[in-house]
């Protein structure tokens, strides 16, 4: 089983106040800590578990700065075999389609059975990269996967749907799975393991190395134009509806209808 696992280095916005740069075009990330995207961490664990059960190898692919190598080394310490880090300022990294094109460029031409990604990144929250990647690689995909069963030449994926439903699909390999959090319990990468993982290959490449024309993945190629970012104003308004149940229901219904909410 040859697996590629795509991971992303994202800011943790839960512990520091989110501020914008003066131009309002980017988030000021100087006070954030960065780490592997949560769902990607589960994808790493799942790929290592599949490898432990069925043999093969896991290659980590990530687009990110030098600092993200800590995250990549942790994935290698957990059992992934080698890694490719792509760094190129020309990539329009805010556009998931451009990101998928770059990842596809890194994987295409190599033999693979499975590509795992997280189902969604916590920075932009698009949940698009994985499925776009499948399209670009020309292979089937399943998104929001909560359970994986490897069969002969196929994979059975349990997908989490709205309302708590599970959909079970069978895909022929090779395939792309986008992994939902909670599918497993990611292991800890002890420091001795991280040091040991320094011996594993971590290739750093740019668009030219991958043979990708910059014009296909840069801001000009992207259909997304980032116009403005702003912090939503905090508003609070509460109205206590008085009366007997019938009156309350009528008043509530009136408010909802007038507000265009139903």
Partner 1 sequence: MEMTENQTFTERFDLLGCIQCGRCTGGCPVTVRTNLNVRRFVYDAYNEELLEELARAAEIWDCTACHTCAVRCPKGLKPLEVLIGLRSLLVESGKTQPSVRDALESVFREGNPWEKPRATRSDWMEGLDVPIAQPDQPVENLFFVCCTIAYDPRVQVIAQNLVRLLKGAGVNYAFLGDDESCCGSEVFTLGEEGLFEMIVEDNTELLNGYQAERIVALSPHCFTTFRTRYPNLKKPVLHYTQLLAELLEQGKLAFKGGLAKKIVFHDPCYLGKQSGVFDEPRRLLKAVDGVELVEFDRSRERSLCCEGGGGKMWVESESKKERLAETRIRDARALGADIVAVACPFCVLTLEDAVKALGYEEEMRVVEIMELLGELEVDQDKTNPA
Q: Residue 70 interacts with partner 1 (CB under 8 A)?
A: yes
Q: Which residue, 200, 203, 178, is CA-closest to 62? A: 203
Helix (H, G, I), strand (E, B) or coil at 4: strand
* Cβ neighbours around 126 below 10 Å, total: 16
Helix (H, G, I), strand (E, B) or coil at 195: helix
* Alpha carbons 11 and 46: distance in angstroms, whole number: 23
Site string for partner 1, 136-175 (x = CB under 8 A): ----------------------------------------
- Cis peptide before 174, with omega less than 30 degrees from 0? yes
Q: Residue 190 interacts with partner 1 (CB under 8 A)?
A: yes
Shortest Cβ 186–partner 1 spacing (Å): 7
21, 25, 33, 220: residue in contact with partner 1 (rule CB under 8 A): 33
The secondary element (H helix, E strand) that includes residue 209 is helix 207-210
In the complex with partner 1, the residue whose CB is nearer, 53 or 195, is 195
Q: Residue 53 interacts with partner 1 (CB under 8 A)?
A: no
In the complex with partner 1, the residue whose CB is nearer, 67 or 110, is 67
Q: Residue 15 interacts with partner 1 (CB under 8 A)?
A: yes
26, 151, 166, 191: residue in contact with partner 1 (rule CB under 8 A): 191
DSSP-derived letter for residue 178 is E
Q: Residue 7 interacts with partner 1 (CB under 8 A)?
A: no
Q: How long, in residues, is the chain?
A: 262
Residues forming contacts to partner 1 in the complex (CB under 8 A) are: 12, 15-16, 30-33, 35, 70, 74, 78, 185-193, 195
């Amino acid at each position: 089983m040859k697996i590629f696992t795509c991971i992303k280095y994202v800011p943790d916005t839960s512990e520091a106040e989110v501020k914008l740069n003066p131009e309002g075009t980017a988030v000021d990330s100087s006070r954030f800590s960065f780490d592997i995207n949560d769902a990607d961490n589960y994808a790493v664990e799942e790929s290592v578990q599949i490898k432990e059960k069925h043999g093969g190898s896991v290659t980590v692919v990530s687009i990110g700065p030098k600092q993200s190598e800590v995250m990549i080394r942790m994935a290698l310490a957990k059992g992934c075999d080698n890694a490719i880090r792509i760094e190129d300022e020309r990539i329009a990294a805010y556009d998931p389609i451009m990101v998928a094109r770059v990842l596809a460029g890194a994987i295409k031409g190599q033999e693979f059975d499975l590509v795992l990604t997280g189902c969604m990144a916590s920075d932009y929250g698009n949940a698009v990269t994985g499925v776009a990647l499948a399209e670009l690689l020309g292979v089937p995909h399943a998104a929001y996967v909560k359970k994986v069963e490897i069969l002969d030449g196929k994979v059975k994926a349990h997908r989490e749907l709205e309302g708590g439903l599970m959909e079970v699909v069978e895909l022929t390999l090779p395939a792309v799975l986008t992994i939902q959090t909670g599918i497993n319990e990611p292991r800890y990468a002890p420091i001795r393991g991280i040091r040991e993982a320094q011996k594993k290959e971590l290739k750093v490449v740019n668009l030219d190395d991958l043979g990708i024309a910059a014009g296909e993945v840069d801001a000009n190629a992207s259909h997304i134009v980032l116009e403005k970012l702003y912090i939503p104003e905090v508003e609070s308004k509460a109205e206590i509806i008085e009366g007997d149940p019938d009156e309350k229901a009528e008043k509530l219904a009136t408010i909802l209808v007038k507000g265009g909410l139903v």
